[in-house]
Amino acid sequence: MYNPSSLKAEEFICHEEIMSTLDFAHQHKNDAALIDEIISKAKECKGLSHREALVLLDCDIPEKNQEIFKLAEDIKKQFYGNRIVLFAPLYLSNYCVNGCLYCPYHAKNKHILRKKLTQDEIRQEVIALQDMGHKRLAIEAGEDPVNNPIEYILESIKTIYSIKHKNGAIRRVNVNIAATSVENYRKLKEAGIGTYILFQETYHKESYEKLHPSGPKHNYAYHTEAMDRAMDGGIDDVGLGVLFGLETYRYELAGLLMHAEHLEAVHGVGPHTISVPRVKHADDIDPSAFDNGIDDDVFAKIIAVIRLSVPYTGMIISTRETPQCREKVIHYGISQISGGSKTSVGGYAVPEDEELKSEQFDVSDHRTLDEVVNWLMKLGYVPSFCTACYREGRTGDRFMALCKNKQIHNCCLPNALMTLKEYLMDYASPDIKKVGESLIQSELNHISKDKVRDIVKDNLVKIENGQRDFRF
Ligand code: SAM
């Protein structure tokens, strides 16, 4: 029954195949020969099947686990170098007709402050985000056809792209809204979005239906098949994710990787990103009400195994996690992080009232973007505000082809250095500017092509002199 090329959710996310995979992995968790074979395959950087990935996830041999973590770091460096791309979420509206049991936006919550930003309020939020230094946003909204119709989302995207405040600009808007129709995905594509992100929440159908007892999101097939509709609508960068804590992490990882295999089989291109959110405390939500919470060690292992399984896919970690946890897992394959985030509707321009809150969940990393940039540099990473790929038409299979043959480095490092320079000139505090300037100088030596290095050096001078937005 398992068929990655099928367009039916229950065939490409096949429960029986997942159960037999979990059984197989459990039986082989001490099978050193098989684990060695899978690690060798992972070293070729061509990815792993969900079955192979689950064997590594279950692997119970400490030395082999160390190899897995080490390899995840190596692969991350091969495909993404030492760059970490930064973004922020922007919540447009928390009106929602769904009944998701883990989310405080659920329709029955009469306690949370309901808010929908006007275009003028969006303008204020975007100016505040630009003043922090952000160039890339992920817009978020509850599902409510009356309050948040597609026209509202499209108008908001137009507003966001139109704002040019001082040297600021939002150059990439990713979108995290509920599953919708091919026609609406086409409209989002025409509005110039970057990645369409939709978390599956859980791949376990029975649990999914219980966790989403009411509203359009109750429909498992419609939700699970959304990425196919998005791709049919012309969106070729899609972002997957599960909400860890709802179901067992082993089931979720198998489902997630089967979803990636499905996209590859049907559309010839896997997910652009994978997010790894964990359930957090929120207004009327207590995460301990869900039985499947995972600790930081398991979380790190999941991230490392994803990195080995889909080496070319970006991986995102949000401010749901503490600075300590982010520091622990970032090395195992994370390529994008949020910084200075608010999960309230509004709140960047004017802080929310303590008594009346609209937040989706508690944030655990409260550092400013400047502090996050500084922390990344101290850890040896290059913070990047690059948005060049989709603006240069490097999306979908074109991006993946460049990424798979590692040619993407020729663009990414130069773009990272030039956007970091913009950040240092326009937004960084003096101390951080100093650290950043010397980082740029040392990283210039890692640009392999002399001609590219010379162009970057020229552009860095031009940025000093006030010009902006150079890219390869
Ligand atoms: N309403 C859209 C949907 O249905 O997909 C947009 C998603 S919502 C604004 C963003 C994501 O936040 C959800 O997909 C869910 O995974 C996550 N989320 C919801 N409640 C959460 C909680 N209590 N802790 C952590 N993440 C949560």
Q: Is residue 115 part of a domain?
A: yes
Statement to judge: residues 142 and 216 lie in one domain: yes
140 lines ligand 1 (CB under 6 A): yes
For the cut 90, the answer to whether the pLDDT of residue 169 exceeds it is yes
Residue 37 domain-assigned (yes or no): no
198-242 pLDDT, tens digit per residue, is 999 999 999 999 999 999 999 999 999 999 999 999 999 999 999
Residue 190 placed within a domain: yes
Domain that holds residue 458: 408-464
- Examine the domain organization and report whether 437 and 382 are in the same domain: no
pLDDT band at 63 (very low <50, low <70, confident <90, very high): very high
Cα–Cα–Cα angle for 75, 45, 395, rounded to 5 degrees: 85
Work out which ligand 1 atom sits closest to the CA atom of 287: 23
Provide the mean pLDDT of the chain: 97
165 within a domain of the structure (yes/no)? yes
Q: Are residues 385 and 437 in the same domain?
A: no
Whether 139 is in the pocket of ligand 1, judged by its Cβ within 6 Å, is: no
- The angle that helices 62-80 and 296-309 make with each other, rounded to 10 degrees, is 60
Give the 3-state secondary structure of residue 116.
Answer: strand
Helix (H/G/I), strand (E/B), else coil: 23: helix
Residue type, 248: T
Nearest-atom index, ligand 1, CA of 140: 9
Q: What is the mean pLDDT of residues 450-455?
A: 96
Return the SS3 of 8: coil
CA of 381 to the centre of ligand 1 (A): 29
**Ligand 1 within 6 A of 259 CB?**
no
**435 and 363 within one domain:** no
Same domain, 160 and 90: yes
Q: What is the mean pLDDT of residues 166-178?
A: 98
Residue 80 — φ and ψ, nearest 5°?
Answer: -120, 5
The CATH number for 333's domain is 3.20.20.70
Whether 294 is in a domain gets the answer: yes
Give pLDDT tens digits for 407-443: 887 899 999 999 999 999 999 999 999 999 999 999 9
Calculate mean pLDDT across residues 124-153.
98
Measured in Å, residue 182 CA sits from the centre of ligand 1 at 22
Q: What is the pLDDT of residues 306-356, one digit of tens each?
A: 999 999 999 999 999 999 999 999 999 999 999 999 999 999 999 998 888
Render pLDDT for 249-301 as a digit per residue (tens, 0 to 9).
Answer: 999 999 999 999 999 999 999 999 999 999 999 999 999 999 999 999 999 99
311 belongs to a structural domain? yes
Q: What is the pLDDT of residue 356?
A: 86
The Cβ of residue 165 has, within 10 Å, a number of other Cβ atoms equal to 14
Question: Is the domain of 229 the same as that of 332?
Answer: yes
Number of domains within the chain:
2
pLDDT at 99: 98
Determine what percent of the chain is predicted with pLDDT higher than 70: 100
Domain termination site, one of 363, 390, 417: 390
Cβ-Cβ contacts under 8 Å for 472 (sequence gap 6 or more): 388, 392, 410, 411, 414, 415, 452
pTM beyond 0.95? yes
AA identity, residue 395: T
Supply the pLDDT for residue 90.
98
